[in-house]
Amino acid sequence: MTLDATVHATFTAEGAEPFTVDVAVEVEPGETLAILGPSGSGKTLCLETVAGFHQNDGHVSLGGRDLTDLPPEKRGFGFVFQDYALFPHMTVRENVAFGERYHDELRDPDDLLAALGVADLADRTPPTLSGGERQRVALARSLAIRPEALLLDEPLSALDVPTRQSLREDLATATEDVTAVYVTHNRTTARALADRLAVMRDGEVIQTGATETVFESPATAYVAEFVGANVLPGERFGRDEPVSVRPEHITLNGNGADATVERVSREDASFRVVLDWGGERVEVFTSDPPAVGDRVGVTVPPDRITELA
């Protein structure tokens, strides 16, 4: 089902200036939209407002059905919280089955737990579980109500790297044919899970597009830096405006030797190399790293350069 939402809401915290979220998103049936942005950009407030937890001067519809004035439990969303939000006094099975209070046709909790690899936890309580186990239970609970769309708020942020990678695969499977909105500050997770991205800053979306389009062709320096691209002066490439180049598209060689290696760090199967290139900081990914202090040449394919607004 298509999710169409316009969020216009102002939030006031004690001792802070009012913060306004003004966002419009549309998610096609079966599509996963990732809302990507730093802490404080308003992405979680946006998601919670779509879910019905906050007052909204905009509108929310799902499959053409107006949800704007409905309470959260009547909207047909499955919501996965960052902090799991499991009931500590209930068993895992009871947590997954909690939605039967508001929904008539619940999926079998034991089947869901088995599908997520945690069937053996059904009779335990959340305080006895690891973070990854709790998040799988939370995902099972959100799927149990047969949601028309999934809303996910940073569900992997508190997990260690191996658990995050494993659960990311479960989420990819769970959202494969489901309309979903996924909030995250992690560009790797966004790139792995999302069909489209909406990059937020200060309560507004500043670029939307297919995931690879945003990563490869960011519109502004802010977006480029947030998705991990280098931002460089355009004059270096005969351009009038600043440009972006992704680290994986830059190659190092012995020609020119106009950059100095400042740092080399291992990242899984490759290395991240930080260069001083004529006074500009540049990151490069390579499988054959030079040593710190080496002088190297830098090659940037012209078709990998994106001019920025």
Q: What is the mean pLDDT of the chain?
A: 92
Would strands 259-267 and 295-299 be described as parallel, antiparallel, or unpaired?
A: antiparallel
pLDDT computed for residue 301 by the predictor = 93
Cβ count within 10 A of residue 269: 7
**Which tens digits make up the pLDDT trace of 15-36?**
788 999 999 999 999 999 999 9
Residues 6+ apart with CB under 8 A from 182: 32, 33, 34, 35, 152, 171, 175, 189, 190, 193, 194
Query: By the 8 A CB rule, do 232 and 245 touch?
Result: yes
Res 162 pLDDT > 90: no
What mean pLDDT comes out for the span 146-167?
83
What mean pLDDT comes out for the span 182-193?
93
Q: Which segments of the chain does DSSP mark as H helices, in order?
A: 43-51, 92-96, 109-115, 131-144, 161-174, 187-193, 211-216, 221-226
pLDDT computed for residue 297 by the predictor = 94
Give bridge partners of residue 303 from the DSSP assignment: none
Cβ count within 10 A of residue 275: 24
Q: Confidence band (pLDDT; 50, 70, 90) for 247? A: very high
pLDDT computed for residue 119 by the predictor = 94
pLDDT computed for residue 72 by the predictor = 93
**Which tens digits make up the pLDDT trace of 172-183?**
888 888 999 999
Res 308 pLDDT > 80: yes
Query: By the 8 A CB rule, do 64 and 103 touch?
Result: no
pLDDT computed for residue 309 by the predictor = 84
Res 96 pLDDT > 90: yes
pLDDT computed for residue 161 by the predictor = 73
- Quote the DSSP letter at residue 176: T
Residues 6+ apart with CB under 8 A from 293: 260, 261
**Which tens digits make up the pLDDT trace of 39-87?**
999 999 999 999 999 999 999 999 999 999 999 999 999 999 888 889 9
Query: By the 8 A CB rule, do 95 and 128 touch?
Result: no
Query: By the 8 A CB rule, do 94 and 87 touch?
Result: yes
CA 268 – CA 79 distance, rounded (Å) = 32
Give bridge partners of residue 35 from the DSSP assignment: 183, 198
Phi, psi of 269 (to 5 degrees): -90, -5
pLDDT computed for residue 160 by the predictor = 72
Q: Confidence band (pLDDT; 50, 70, 90) for 156? A: confident
pLDDT computed for residue 84 by the predictor = 80
Phi, psi of 3 (to 5 degrees): -100, 125
What mean pLDDT comes out for the span 273-282?
96
Quote the radius of gyration of the chain (alpha carbons, Å).
Answer: 22
Q: Does residue 97 sit in helix, strand or coil?
A: helix
pLDDT computed for residue 104 by the predictor = 76
pLDDT computed for residue 67 by the predictor = 97
DSSP output for 218-261: -SSHHHHHHTT-EEE-GGGGT-SS-EEE-GGG-EEESSS--EEE
**Which tens digits make up the pLDDT trace of 101-139?**
887 788 999 999 998 889 999 999 999 999 889 988 999
Q: How buried is residue 141: exposed, middle or buried, by Cβ count under 10 Å (0-12/13-18/19+)?
A: buried
pLDDT computed for residue 155 by the predictor = 83
CA 4 – CA 142 distance, rounded (Å) = 20
Domains plus CATH for the chain?
3-222 (3.40.50.300), 247-307 (2.40.50.140)
